[in-house]
Each structure stands twice: as C-alpha cells, then as structure tokens.
Chains A and B, each alone.
Chain A
Amino acid sequence: MSSRTGSPKLRSAAWRISLWATLAFACGTLLVFLFLHRFVASDIQRRSDAWLSGEVEVLGDVAERTPKDALYDRVVGEVAELAEKEVPNKDLSESSSNDSVFFLQTGADASLKLWVGAGRGEPYLQAIQAARIFPDQPSDLHVRGFAIPFRVASIRIDDGSSIYLGLSERDESRVLRNLSIRFFLFWLLLVLFGFAIVFFTTRRMLTHVREITEAASRIGHSDLTARVPTTKRNDEVSHLALTLNRMLDRIESSMHQLHTITDSLAHDLRSPLTAIRGKLEISLPAFPQAEKAEPIVSAIEELDRLTDFLNKSLDVAEAKADALRLNRVPVDLDELLKIMIDLYEPSMSEKGLQVSLHSAGPLIVEADAALLHRMIANLFDNELKHSPSARSTSLRLRVEGQSALFVLEDDGPGFDPEVLPHLFERRVKGRESNGHGLGLAFVDAVARAHRGTVTASNREEGGARITVTIPLNSL
C-alpha cells in the first residue's frame, strides 16, 4: 500500500477513521446475517419436522391397515424404505445415506417389533425409551455412537404398538454449515470492500489535507507569495484551502506593510545620516590640528554608532515579526568560523582569552551569508565584551540531525542568573555591559529567521554556554 509515503500521523488518521467505520459496518452486517441464518435454520427445521410428521402418519396408517400376517414385516419395511428415499436436504453425492433415517416399531410391551435402518435397532430403542418421546411432537434424540442427534417423530397405533421415524440432523446441519460458510465469506468480502472504500476515500481526502499542510509550512518559512493548492470540489477541505489562502493574503499584505515601514524608516533616516556624515567628512581636512578636528571626528563616530544601532533595531524588529528577508546561498560554517577566529583572535589574546575550534571539517548550510557573518560577529563581540575573566573559549561545530549545531563555551563567570531568562530580548544587557543590548537579540533573530534556535545557559562546571542551531537546508 502506498500509505508508506504519507506522514505517519495522517496515515494513522486514515487508518483510525477507516477502522472505526469498518467496525460499525461489520457489526451491522453481522447482525443482519445472524438474523437471516436463524430464519433459514428454523425454516429448514420446520420443513423436516413437517416431513417427519407426514411420513410417520402414513407409516402408521400402513401399519394399521396391513394384515398382521407373515408379510406384515416385509410390507411395512418396504414402505419405510421407500419413505427414506424422500428425505429432505439429502446430499445426493453421498451414497450410504440409509443410516440417516431409521424406522422402528415397538410392540405394546415396548419390545422391538420391527427395525429398518443401519446397524442394530437396540441402541435406538434404548435411546427412545430413555428420552421419552411424545406422539405428534418431533423432538431430538441422542443415540449412543452418533455425534449428531436424530429428529424423531412417533405415532401410536390402535394395536398398542408405537412407530418411530428418525431422521439424522446430519444433512440439515451440513446445509446450515454450508450456508454459514457462505454467509461468513460474503460478510468478510463485504467488510473488506467497505474498509477499502472508506480507507481510500479518507486517504485521498487526507492526502489533500497533507498537501495543504506541507504547502502552508513551506510558505510559512520561505515564500509568502505562494499559496496552498485548491481543488474545484466544493467540500470542507477545499474550503480550508481557500480560507488558508485568504489568511495568507492578509499576512502577506501586513508583512509587505511592515517591510514598507521599515524600509521607508531606514531610507528616511539613512539619507540625512549620509548627508550629515558626508558634510562632516569634507569639512575635516580644513582642520589639520587634532584638537580642532576632535568634535567632528567624535560626531562621525557617534553617527556610525547610530547607524549601526538603527540597522540592528530594524533587523531585530523584522525578525521578531518573522519577516527578516533572507538571501540563501550555501555557506561553509567551518570556513566562516575559521575566518572569524582569525579576525577576533588578536583581540581575544590581548585580553588573555584562548580560543579553540573543534570541527569535523566543512559544514555547508543554506543560509543568508551576510546575516550569518553578522550573527557570528555578534557572538564573538559578546564574548569579548562580557567575559572579563574568562581564560578560554571553545567553539564546537557539528551536524546534529538535520541541523548544524554550534556551541560556544567559556570558563568565565557565566550569565547573570537574573538576566539569563531574558537574554535574547531587546535591550537586555548585563550590569557591566556598555552595548545597546541588541547583540544577542540579533543573534536570536537571525537564528529564528533561518528556523534555527539559540539557547544560553550556565555550565555546571562554571562559565557560559551559547548553543546555536541552523537547519542544513531551507526546506
């Protein structure tokens, strides 16, 4: 079955629905069949009882009218044998059928007077005497040596003797057994067929639901302009698809609006910043002496800090709304970390901080290279600024599942426990921090934008640990 291709959850949903429906269906049809079976069984019983009563009456008649001479036994015996040939429900293929019927006549003293049937008549007589059979009322008789009971009808004739006609229920139960087997097979077929229909209908519907889910999750993480697949059918599932698409329209429009706002805010602030910076710069050479240039120089530095703050604020704002725009390319994290260590190593060793990288070689992720650069730089900046007494920093990079796992650990004092739960929020900074409190919020923002995670904790043996995961590919 192709259900192996489906996601396990939906497959189990299809299974569950089909199983319950089939169970209900099976119970219902089983009841109907049981009722039919009972009806047929009682009908067969009625027919064989009617035959027995009719035949035993005829035989009684014959026995009464036949002169009680030497030929009596032969005449009655012949008639009884003839009657045996008209047994109802008889299986024609069975040749030795004469053991299914017996004829027995007892005298007035309840002794065996006449016996027509297979074997000897005594066991039958004993059984009849033990069972106490009433005339005109066929009843079951268990004879020793026979697993299947006989149906026996009796009649008392005027000379005080009784006539018993017995019919084995073997043929009747065979017919009923055949009927049961046919009913069961037919019922099984019906149930399987019903299950197949329900299962395939449900699965088809759920496949559509799954397609919608998959498309929606793809849209959620990459392309907001795409839409979930819709069908021409006018059912609940296609309504779901339409509703989702309408919701996506609204999300896309508000996302677009957010981009427009941040873009125009950036533009409106950056243009004057550019003009101011430019003017400050061209006014610089006019002051050759350092003291006079000082205010301009520090104004430029302030401007640069302001610009950086503006950029990071907008990035964090967009990322918090899951609206950071990514330009995914293959990035080798191993190489990136080596370059970053190369860049930061001198600053770190100035502070007496040893840095080491443990990596198993190239590790490619589909990510926005510029954002990753800035994210790693932020982590390193954070390490430089906030670990005053750390002696060593270790970086570990490896693949875990479908993600790249990057762990940064140091042996410094660790994070302030008060700050730790809010570390990745905007404007949260340690007591000794002199930054604008956006660094780790930005790291979190970039990881989120890539559908990754950042967690910070204090190591048991002392020191801080920051763990970043980035999925290997965007799907």
Chain B
Amino acid sequence: MRLLLVEDEIDIQSFLRTSLEEAGYQVEAATDGKTAERLAVDCPFDILIVDLGLPDQDGISLILKLRQIGVHAPVLILSARRSVDERVLGLEQGGDDYLTKPFALAELLARLRNLLKRNNPPGSEATKLRVLDLELDLLRREATRAGETLQLTPQEFVLLEYLCRNAGRVVTRSMILDKVWGMRIQPDTNVVDVHIYRLRGKVDGPGQQPLIRTLRGMGYVLKDR
C-alpha cells in the first residue's frame, strides 16, 4: 500500500511515518503542497493523508487540484482547526474522511482501512463473523459463544459486531461513539466503558477466556488469538 503523507509539522510527520510503516504502509512524505503535487503526479498512491494547514496552500485546494489532475485515491484529512469546514464535510460526502488533531493512532489506522475498503469493496459481504469461539450471524442478528446464544440488545450486537470487525486491533472510545452511535463527542463520563462492561459480562462467561480487553489510555481490543 503506497501512502502519501502531506504534513508540515516534522514532529508529527516522523511519528506518523514510524507507525504507518509499522502498520505496513509504504510511506512517502511531503511538507508542502508543491512537493505533494509533484509526488502524486510522478507515481500513483493508494491513499493520501493531507494536513489542512500547509505552509504554501490550503489542504483543501491541494486535494481539489489533485482531483483535477486525475488523482482519485481516497484522502484522510487532518485538521487542527476548530470548526469542521463545510468543504471538508463536502469531501467527506464525496468518499473522503477527516480526523481532528490530536487523534489516537488506532483511530487514524482504522479510518485509513475504512477508506481503502470503501474504495475496493469486496465482491460479497460475509454474513457471518467468527472470532475464536465467538460467532455473529449478521442476518439473524444473533451472537453465539461456544455454541451458546448470547442475549444481546440490538445496540450491544452492533457494538460487538464493530469489535469483531476490528478483532485484534485497538478501537478507541471516540471510534466506538462514532461508529455505533454516530456521534463525534467526548463525554466527560465513562458511558462507553459501562456499555463495554455490560457487553463483557454477557460475552465473557465464567470460566471462559476473556475476549474483550481494556487498554488504558487507548481503548479496547477484541482478542483474536
């Protein structure tokens, strides 16, 4: 996966490069719009990360310019601005995504995966998800653990489905709020933890291997090993 990272802050660029390469991306980096344009024209990328505040031009203008010259790879916009620009929302509807700084790396990686998946949809969506002895029937909205049906509310099922789809990877609280409840909020209270706690009570029965792990300061992970 070839990724073009356009970010003028060297500090941010360097840690992003490290973690993106760790996640298996082949990273090219640019610190301004001009360089980014040149790189994008020279060789095709699968995905782009563009910071909105570039020294020589606006990130949005760069994206629009790239679209004009035929670069159609999905873009993840990074914004340190306060309000989400209407134009960013426009791009989001056009298939791109945005993330406000500061962000959790897990969320950045998840959004990149989503963008890539959106652009290369698989032929047919699986109707069943399986993680170790946990099985989710997406059509009948039923979950079983070691053959025993779990009594889940519809919301709990959606939450578990999201964890299963990201099995083995960290999901943060804000990712859960965004994907399960459709809101970008930062509650002052531990509302998500209580949901996870309840779900764990149903999924991880007594004597069973605990599947849902909490990673403090990061989020949760559904163990797949």
Contacts and interface: CB of A to CB of B under 8 A. Distances in A.
A282 B53 contact: no
Interface string A279-300: 1011010000000010011111
A270 B101 contact: yes
A279 B18 CA distance: 10
Interface in B90-113: 100-105
B15 A282 contact: yes
Interface in A418-442: 435, 439
Interface stretch (B30-38, B81-89, B203-211): B81-89
B182 A339 contact: yes
Contacts of B195: 343, 346
Interface string B52-89: 01000000000000000000000000001111101001
B9 A314 contact: no
Nearest to B184: A370
B85 to A, nearest CB: 9
Given A301-B217, A327-B83, A373-B184, A343 B191 contact: yes
B84 to A, nearest CB: 7
Interface in B145-173: 155
Nearest to A308: B186
A116 to B, nearest CB: 105
B190 A347 contact: yes
Contact of B181 (A262, A273, A325, A339): A339
B102 A273 contact: yes
Interface stretch (A62-70, A72-80, A377-385, A388-396): A377-385
Contacts of A277: 102-104
Contacts of B155: 342
Given A266-B81, A270-B102, A279-B15, A284 B218 contact: yes
Nearest to B13: A275
Contact of B80 (A267, A304, A373): A267
B217 A296 contact: yes
Nearest to A382: B188
B216 interface: yes
| Most chain A beta-carbon contacts within 10 A, residue among B19, B82, B194 | B82
| Most chain A beta-carbon contacts within 10 A, residue among B80, B100, B182 | B80
B217 A298 contact: yes
Given A275-B9, A350-B194, A374-B185, A314 B82 contact: yes
Contacts of A281: 15, 19, 104-105, 218
At the interface, is chain B mostly helix, strand, loop or mixed? loop
A377 B185 CA distance: 8
| Most chain B beta-carbon contacts within 10 A, residue among A342, A347, A374, A381 | A347
By size class, the interface of chain A is 35 or more
Contacts of A374: 185-186
A61 interface: no
A119 B182 CA distance: 111
A275 B12 contact: yes
B11 interface: yes
Interface string A139-180: 000000000000000000000000000000000000000000
Contact of B187 (A275, A299, A381): A381
B30 to A, nearest CB: 17
Given A271-B9, A297-B216, A381 B189 contact: yes
A303 interface: yes
B105 A278 contact: yes
A274 B187 contact: no
B81 A435 contact: no
Contacts of A273: 101-102
Interface in A289-342: 293, 296-301, 303-304, 307-308, 311, 314-315, 318, 325, 327, 339, 342
B188 A439 contact: yes
A223 interface: no
B83 A278 contact: no
A339 B177 CA distance: 11
Contacts of B189: 347, 380-381, 384-385
A385 B188 contact: yes
A379 to B, nearest CB: 11
Contacts of B181: 339, 342-343
B198 interface: yes
A344 interface: yes
A346 B217 contact: no
Nearest to A339: B181
Given A263-B81, A284-B218, A350-B194, A278 B12 contact: yes
Nearest to A272: B11
Contacts of A307: 102
Contact of A266 (B15, B82, B198): B82
Contacts of A271: 9, 11-12, 80, 101
Nearest to B15: A278
Nearest to A336: B183
B221 to A, nearest CB: 12
| Most chain A beta-carbon contacts within 10 A, residue among B101, B102, B191 | B102
A303 B83 contact: no
Contact of B84 (A274, A327, A380): A327
B80 A266 contact: yes
Give the 10 A-B residue pairs with the shortest CB-CB distance, closest first: A297-B217, A275-B11, A278-B15, A274-B102, A300-B217, A270-B80, A274-B101, A381-B188, A346-B194, A267-B80
19 contacts: A263-B81, A270-B102, A271-B11, A271-B101, A275-B15, A276-B102, A277-B104, A278-B11, A281-B19, A284-B218, A297-B217, A300-B217, A308-B186, A327-B89, A350-B194, A370-B184, A373-B185, A378-B188, A381-B188
Given A297-B218, A339-B183, 5 more contacts: A262-B82, A263-B81, A277-B102, A281-B104, A344-B191
